[in-house]
Amino acid sequence: MAMDVDVAVVGGGACGTMTALRAARDPDLTVAVFEKSLNEGCNAQISSGSLAAGGTRFQREAGIEDSPDRHAAEILAASGDDAISDVVLAVCRSAPRYVEWMADELGYPIELGTDMPRAGMSVPRLHTDVGRRGGQRLMRHLRGALNRLDNVAFVDRAPVVGLLSGTSGVEGVAVSQNGMSSEVRARHVVLACDGFGANPSLMREHCAELGRPFYGGVSTSTGDALAWLTELGAAVRNMGSCLRHGLVVVGHGTRLNPALPFMGAALLRPDGKRFIMETSLGYSALAAVLQHEVGERALLVWDEQAMTQVMRSELMRESAKAGAFRRYPDEESLTGALALPPEAVRSSLSNVADGRSLAAPLYAAWVTHGVLATQGGAMVDVEGRVLTQRGDVIRGLRAGGGTAAGFAGPSSSGYSSGNGLLSAFGMGWRIGNALAEQSGSGRSCVR
């Protein structure tokens, strides 16, 4: 394969697809997306597809006042990472635009998740698909839009194995296909190949303090870009930080809906006692708490009232299908089956986080901590240009999504719900727009 393109995108997940969609709006740009394996998939595809955006028309229609700046302020309050506040703000300002664009121009059925409360989120800000089918549907829709563009080549089973660099910076990529390596020259290279959650040795090197969590991400996130970035002298940040999850069901690996604690679900220790205010922590921060509990687990208990409110989500449907939680007709059958002290459980369930008592029938599952995706990566500017440790731009190279430094800050507990797709789609949107705008063809239809 000999190719010469304007834009080479490494990875056809959330960030790569958005980058290509936006860049290719200039018909004079040729874009190639090199994807390691559609079969193994991307994190966006197995995600819940929850899109965090502040100040959308969906919020206004629901009478909710919000803004990108408020969204950014809440992310930064959780992360404490002011060093990248310009990037967070820029991406938050893009978020309502791409959410509305997905709905209005790409026809993706979006609704505001008014039933998706999250710790640290002052107003409903997560947008989701009508029908709650999650990331699978989202990525199928976006890739469908990409396939309709004549100036984009999406090359599957074509992992990028290195970058080509020369006097003018990065000048292309080396691609492996059918056991053969070839060079693709490109004016712009965009690294959109996520982080290193599936790479045990990099996880040991950077995230050892997370213990031995369940890994809930895809196998393709092997951190391929890290070596290339290091060789080029790129600065990296927040390497020990991850998107963790504290509601991973023991023995199943499916997750429970993070809205459950807001509906009154209680977390109990094996002695039947509650040990935290369940609504005070996001699911990523909760993982750190569970890691240090006996057996690295706790029992989540909820009732029919909570169940009715959360059952719509794809998470609960998948957990139900996997048999990951059980229904108990009364408190006695729960304590008997799980060998819990009845008095302690009664007292714990009589005054839960939202101030009510849980009423039978009850539902329960043992939950533990997991890692879904890493958050450390390359330092970039507001248009995704990769920076060196001195703050200089590495010419020809951009990065976004899980390959760039995420918005959680140095600790996984600083992760705000929706940050993952926000940084991927937000930076993809910004990079793609910037490339189309600077192409100078004069035929661009970029807005």
Ligand X SMILES: Cc1cc2nc3c(=O)[nH]c(=O)nc-3n(C[C@H](O)[C@H](O)[C@H](O)COP(=O)(O)OP(=O)(O)OC[C@H]3O[C@@H](n4cnc5c(N)ncnc54)[C@H](O)[C@@H]3O)c2cc1C
Footprint of ligand X on this chain (CB under 6 A)? 10-16, 34-37, 42-44, 46-50, 159-160, 192-194, 216-217, 220-221, 224, 243, 372-373, 401-403, 418-422, 424
Which residues lie closer than 8 Å to 72 by C-beta, 6 or more apart?
54, 85, 88, 89, 92, 93
Q: Is 162 or 169 the residue whose CB approaches ligand X more closely? A: 162
Q: Is 394 or 422 the residue whose CB approaches ligand X more closely? A: 422
Q: Whole-number minimum distance, CB 345 to ligand X, in Å?
A: 31
Q: Is 191 or 301 the residue whose CB approaches ligand X more closely? A: 191
Q: Whole-number minimum distance, CB 275 to ligand X, in Å?
A: 26
Q: Whole-number minimum distance, CB 15 to ligand X, in Å?
A: 3
Residue 209 phi, psi dihedral angles, 5° rounding:
-70, -5
Q: Whole-number minimum distance, CB 220 to ligand X, in Å?
A: 3
Report the distance separating Cα 125 and Cα 135, nearest Å: 17
**Residue type, position 334, single letter:** L
Q: Are strands 385-387 and 242-249 parallel, antiparallel or unpaired?
A: unpaired
Report the distance separating Cα 183 and Cα 176, nearest Å: 9
Q: Is 37 or 67 the residue whose CB approaches ligand X more closely? A: 37
CB 66 within 8 Å of CB 58: no
What is the length of the chain? 447
Question: Residue number with the shortest CB distance to ligand X?
Answer: 13
Q: Is 84 or 160 the residue whose CB approaches ligand X more closely? A: 160
Q: Is 362 or 404 the residue whose CB approaches ligand X more closely? A: 404
- Give residue 287's Cα distance to chain centre: 16
Q: Whole-number minimum distance, CB 411 to ligand X, in Å?
A: 17
Could you tell me the sign of the dihedral formed by the alpha carbons of 211, 212, 215, 220, in that order? Answer: positive
Which residues lie closer than 8 Å to 221 by C-beta, 6 or more apart?
43, 193, 194, 195, 196, 197, 198, 199, 373, 374, 402
Q: Whole-number minimum distance, CB 346 to ligand X, in Å?
A: 35
Q: Whole-number minimum distance, CB 420 to ligand X, in Å?
A: 2
Q: Is 215 or 302 the residue whose CB approaches ligand X more closely? A: 215
